[in-house]
Amino acid sequence: MKNIAIIHMEESTMNSVIGLIDNGVFLNHFVNLTELAESISIDSECNLKMSSRERWLTHGTICASIIKKYAPNSEIISICLKPKNNMTSVKQLIAAIDLLDKLEVKLINISVGTVGYNDLVELKGSIENASNNGCVLVASGDNHGLRAYPSYFESVIGVAQLNEKLVNLCGFTRHSSLITGINYLANGVHELKQLSGNNYITPNAASFSTCYMTACIFNLMSNQTLTEVPAVINVLNEITETE
């Protein structure tokens, strides 16, 4: 990864920061999303640069607004994985995780993943390094119930969407699957206020469920000293029921 020294964050702010790995976060869309701690893009060659302030309503923008809705005191570092031929690579994801780890970000939301096997050894190594350094990683599972990475890894909190019938009854439930590695099912339907005055309602998707869980975990970590995935899971399990 090149240009790793592109930014410097004050150590005192790291506890309030969430790293969001997606396709970019852009402002001027949602009432609760007016600024970012940083906005960085990683191209197909894993080069870093400061992201432009575009105005597209991206998936990452929606995810950031969900996080801010439930964790308004959080600050977001957006890591945009720039596609090549409409595809991003596992190597870009690894570069993003390594960057946030070096910045000492303590909570990372990963909206992207893979169901393939290429580069999984390197990806797992990157995940474990970040986890060993006190970072809690929360990753989206596959919308169709397939095993996906990195949400399958033991050192990651894997999240998928709740059944539609349960969406209005609870925020999240415990889940245990040896096949997918998913730890929690969470609400993926969220109403977001747009600057236009309209309401934007998200579909019930795993990535939007993951953002909700990340916000819940941020709030827990703000009130307790939690720096490891097992500790976070223990606390979450105490406040929820098994599916």
- The answer to whether the CB of 93 falls within 8 A of the CB of 148 is no
Domains of the chain in sequence order: 13-238 (3.40.50.200)
**Encoding tokens for residue 181?**
């590695």
Confidence band for 7, pLDDT divided at 50, 70 and 90 = low
Q: Compute the C-alpha angle 137/204/157, nearest 5°.
A: 15
98-156: pLDDT as tens digits: 999 999 999 999 999 998 887 889 999 999 999 999 999 999 999 998 999 999 999 99
pLDDT at 5: 45
- Give the least confident one: 8-12, 28-32, 211-215: 8-12
> What dihedral angle (degrees, nearest 10) is formed by the CA atoms of 62, 132, 1, 46?
-30
Confidence band for 72, pLDDT divided at 50, 70 and 90 = very high
150-190: pLDDT as tens digits: 999 999 999 999 876 555 556 888 898 889 999 999 999 99
pTM for the structure as a whole: 0.91
* Long-range CB contacts (within 8 A, 24+) of 45-48: 45/2, 46/1, 46/2, 46/91, 46/92, 46/95, 47/1, 47/2, 47/3, 48/1, 48/2, 48/3, 48/4, 48/6, 48/95, 48/99
